[in-house]
């Protein structure tokens, strides 16, 4: 039997061991140390943001982002249903309520439906968007750049400005993705809205094992984020705390790993782009399958590849099981969040395409250490169905 081909695993082929050893020898191994500061500086420089704050994971980053943007209980936040649940749970952490939106063919939030919802289901009065159904104020939108694609930030930014909404970018899957033309040419995912968040989970394009990063061009938001992620300590010597804070700071060991990974990010993206194009070429004449496109006005990081099943004769779970039997790991898109038990009573708006894509998309192996031979093998197995 052929070796197992995992879905997405780390590529630790650079200076990871060297930098981690440096951190260990310095004895700065916890939530303080020079590697954390360096990693924050290097991420901010890479994405061209005014600053960055390292945290424990993308989820904690989104939690803090909501807090520093002033989102509180009893308000509502617009979110996509096609995303990982970690996008939405932080909304509930602070006692706010999500409103779920559909996706478009890019798998990112459907901007036309978002606009229609604001126009027909809400009233904009005295600078506040009010939900007609619940009578609550809608304060923010969380946009997710799914699988390294980019949501339509030009239109979303216009809507956010029109309705006085905070715009939080969940860029946990999109580090390295940026616009190549248009109003935001050269702008990276995560840096266009009020605040953005990246993830360095083990399956992301670069990893710190766990870990996340908050970025913004608003230094006040970043200062507040660092304060909250370090237990809201207002006096370092006497341990005075001026509000409820969180133990959300990244460790120096994690940051050391991240520094080595960031050095290789562009190489990883190049490899992932090459493998993505090979998948597309090999399946270009298939009647059963296609690889979904990334938008043509972006340079994607090509984090995940989405196999779209074009025929009704093959079911999603049959593909997953067939690949599993060939020692190939794959997965469906996450279960739609509005259908999860904690969110079944939440408001939704015209969710249609998300359901269709949920039934018809399988993520294929996409690691940056995936070989050309691996891609050929995966495609051969698909063609044998």
pLDDT class for 240, splitting at 50, 70, 90?
very high
Q: pTM value? A: 0.97
290 shares a domain with 202: no
The SS3 of residue 331 is strand
Q: Is the pLDDT of residue 334 over 70?
A: yes
Which single residue is written with the structure tokens 């395409």?
Answer: 353
Instruction: Give the helix ranges, DSSP H, for 243-292.
Output: 252-263, 265-282
259 shares a domain with 174: yes
User: What percent of the chain is modeled with pLDDT above 90?
Assistant: 97
Q: What is the pLDDT of residue 52?
A: 98
201 shares a domain with 333: no
Among 108-117, 217-226, 232-241, the range scoring the smallest mean pLDDT is 232-241
294 shares a domain with 245: no
pLDDT class for 236, splitting at 50, 70, 90?
confident
The SS3 of residue 264 is coil
278 shares a domain with 251: no
280 shares a domain with 143: no
* Domain of 324, in residue numbers: 265-383
Assess contact for 176 and 150: CB atoms under 8 A: no
Rounded Cα gap, residues 129 and 137, in angstroms: 6
204 shares a domain with 147: yes
In our burial notation (b when 16+ CB lie closer than 10 A, e otherwise), range 96-128 reads bbbbbbbbbebbbbbbebbbebbeebbeeeeee
The mean pLDDT value for 313-329 works out to: 97
Q: Which residues contact 76 (CB under 8 A, 6 or more apart)?
A: 96, 97, 98, 99, 131, 134, 136, 137, 138, 139, 347
118 shares a domain with 86: yes
Which single residue is written with the structure tokens 């390295």?
Answer: 176
pLDDT class for 1, splitting at 50, 70, 90?
low
Q: What is the CATH number of the domain that holds 175?
A: 3.40.640.10
Domain boundary among 234, 263, 292: 263
Q: What is the CATH number of the domain that holds 328?
A: 3.90.1150.10
> How many domains does the chain divide into?
2
Pairing assessment for the beta strands 305-309 and 233-235 based on DSSP bridges: unpaired
Assess contact for 333 and 297: CB atoms under 8 A: no
310 shares a domain with 256: no
Closest CA relative to residue 168, chosen from 131, 212, 123, 214: 214
The mean pLDDT value for 268-275 works out to: 98
pLDDT tens per residue across span 118-142: 999 999 999 999 999 999 999 999 9
């Amino acid at each position: 039997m052929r070796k197992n081909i995992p879905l997405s695993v780390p590529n630790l082929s650079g200076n990871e061991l060297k930098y981690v050893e440096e951190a260990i020898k310095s004895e700065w191994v916890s939530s303080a140390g020079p590697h954390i500061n360096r990693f924050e500086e290097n991420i901010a420089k890479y994405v061209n943001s005014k600053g960055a704050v390292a945290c424990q994971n993308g989820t904690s980053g989104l939690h803090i982002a909501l807090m520093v943007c002033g989102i509180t209980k009893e308000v509502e936040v617009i979110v996509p249903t096609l995303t990982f649940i970690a996008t939405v749970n932080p909304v509930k952490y602070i006692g706010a309520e999500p409103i779920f939106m559909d996706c478009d063919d890019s798998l990112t939030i459907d901007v036309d439906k978002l606009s229609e919802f604001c126009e027909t289901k809400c009233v904009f009065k005295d600078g506040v968007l009010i939900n007609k159904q619940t009578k609550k104020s809608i304060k923010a939108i969380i946009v997710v750049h799914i699988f390294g694609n980019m949501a339509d930030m030009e239109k979303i930014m216009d809507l956010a400005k029109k309705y006085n909404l905070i715009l939080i970018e969940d860029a946990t899957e999109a580090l390295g993705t940026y616009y190549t033309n248009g109003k935001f040419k050269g702008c990276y995912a995560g840096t266009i809205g009020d605040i953005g968040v990246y993830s360095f989970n083990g399956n992301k394009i670069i990893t710190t094992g766990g870990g996340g990063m908050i970025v913004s061009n608003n230094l006040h938001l970043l200062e507040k984020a660092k304060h909250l992620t370090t237990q809201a300590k207002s006096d370092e010597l006497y341990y005075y705390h001026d509000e409820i804070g969180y133990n959300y700071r990244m460790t120096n060991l994690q940051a050391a790993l991240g520094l080595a990974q960031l050095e290789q990010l562009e190489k990883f993206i190049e490899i992932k782009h090459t493998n993505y194009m090979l998948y597309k070429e090999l399946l270009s004449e298939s009647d059963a399958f296609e690889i979904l496109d990334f938008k043509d006005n972006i340079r994607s990081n090509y984090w995940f590849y989405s196999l779209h099943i074009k025929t009704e004769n093959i079911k999603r779970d049959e593909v997953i099981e067939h690949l599993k039997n060939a020692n190939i790991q794959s997965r469906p898109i996450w279960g739609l969040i509005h259908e999860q038990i904690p969110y079944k009573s939440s408001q939704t708006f015209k969710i249609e395409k998300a359901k269709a894509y949920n039934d018809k998309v399988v993520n294929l192996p996409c690691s940056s250490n995936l070989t050309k031979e691996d891609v050929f093998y995966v495609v051969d197995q698909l063609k044998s169905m």
